[in-house]
Chains A and B, each alone.
Chain A
């Protein structure tokens, strides 16, 4: 009779009942299999010892404290709290594309987790080159070179406006009057500046293009090896919640995403990357947010889900987005190198009213 496989011998150690009687009988009578099983047993014992780690008791108080921590983090991701259909999609996309800090707070973690989640669910267990949790707000350009995350944004809830200001160095905008239906005091969030350094690699980009079935267009001279430093934030946000905990309104402010170059201009590299075959739309969308001077406000509108229009916020051109079902609106504008946003489960008139009467903060 054929010897049972190594896997069967291994299972025999742990779950003998899960192994067929014929295999068990064979092993009992077969010196070669018994010897192989002894080897498996040694390796298993060695692995068990290597992987043993005494964490101590996780008691009720630990669980309570951890739950408290998780509960505090949940509001930092309003994307995960859909109160109306479409809200999640709406807030997690255009806001992510638009705002450094606000999206740090509102959707980026969710987006990163979603990407990771899809990778996991698809059971693609290939190494993820950049830890998604650290990828908040920075485009994953690892298919086109190397990405080194120098600083993660570490978004957290803070005790109030003064703490948010202290963390970010930004003045906290003051809302003159809350729209109808938005009540109570806001929760404050702050995130540090996120920093990543990207170095373009022709070889990697060629590989990625080939995977998309296209040849790599010739890179501009000097691109290979040029280091681009991408920064986003710091930023802060105030979030008002509805009774059930979902976000009703969010007012945010963040230093605009910027890119610094050690060689050829960032815009040259960006336009080249954006033209590459197969660049994922999500990455392209993130990439478009970055500019050398940090003063542009490129927003990616998903026409199927949102409508966009332009408006004026006290002299600054602003972009207004709203979901087609009217459940969500947001207005975005740039002033003095800072991106500002007012968004929520509100109408466009309401977000514009709040934006136009917003105090510049202390």
Chain B
């Protein structure tokens, strides 16, 4: 395991959880993803200077992979959906429904667009997204723009009547 793992972990953990949570809409699941990502990082030879970018991309990829096994998760959400709901619970159900639609939309986006979108909205600069995805800074804007447009279309398409 690399010697700087603990130092990098303590610095970057909150950020990595935040990236995964944006994809998954679930802190607990995001924490699981962070564990996976840091384990892989610990075995890697990623240069220390690239660690944050690498971890954020890895968190986005891993979280998107987790969406693929989303059937169980959807079932869990179905299970907890109450039949008779109070207003507060109704809000929560609506929010859950929105999150589910966002996740479905993210799953359908081309992977590079989805990752660029998540990273940009997690606060990475264009230069950081470019370095992490091996894009030119100029094409980051194009990729993010396409992703946002596609996300809107997906969400409109998936909107309930």
Contacts and interface: CB of A to CB of B under 8 A. Distances in A.
- Chain B binding surface SS class: helix
Contacts of A5: 138, 141-142
A79 B40 CA distance: 11
Given A43-B149, A134-B69, A70 B22 contact: no
Interface residues of B, number: 64
Given A50-B102, A53-B22, A66-B13, A117 B40 contact: yes
Interface stretch (A8-16, A194-202, A337-345): A8-16
B60 to A, nearest CB: 10
Q: How large is the interface on A (under 10, 10 to 19, 20 to 34, 35 or more residues)?
A: 35 or more
B137 A18 contact: yes
Nearest to A48: B121
28 contacts: A6-B141, A7-B140, A7-B144, A10-B145, A11-B126, A11-B140, A11-B141, A14-B126, A40-B145, A44-B148, A51-B118, A55-B21, A58-B17, A62-B14, A66-B34, A66-B35, A67-B10, A70-B42, A74-B42, A80-B43, A113-B40, A114-B43, A116-B40, A117-B44, A131-B66, A131-B68, A132-B65, A134-B69
A133 interface: yes
A101 interface: no
Contact of B39 (A113, A123, A125, A149): A113
Contacts of B13: 58, 63, 66-67
Given A53-B21, A113-B39, A117-B40, A8 B125 contact: no
Most chain A CB within 10 A, of B57, B141, B143, B149, is at B141
A125 B10 contact: no
B93 interface: no
A307 to B, nearest CB: 26
A63 B1 CA distance: 19
A269 B6 CA distance: 46
A62 B17 CA distance: 11
B65 to A, nearest CB: 5
A128 interface: yes
A113 B43 contact: yes
Given A131-B66, A133-B36, 13 more contacts: A5-B141, A43-B149, A46-B151, A47-B121, A48-B121, A50-B151, A66-B34, A69-B35, A73-B35, A113-B39, A113-B40, A120-B57, A120-B61
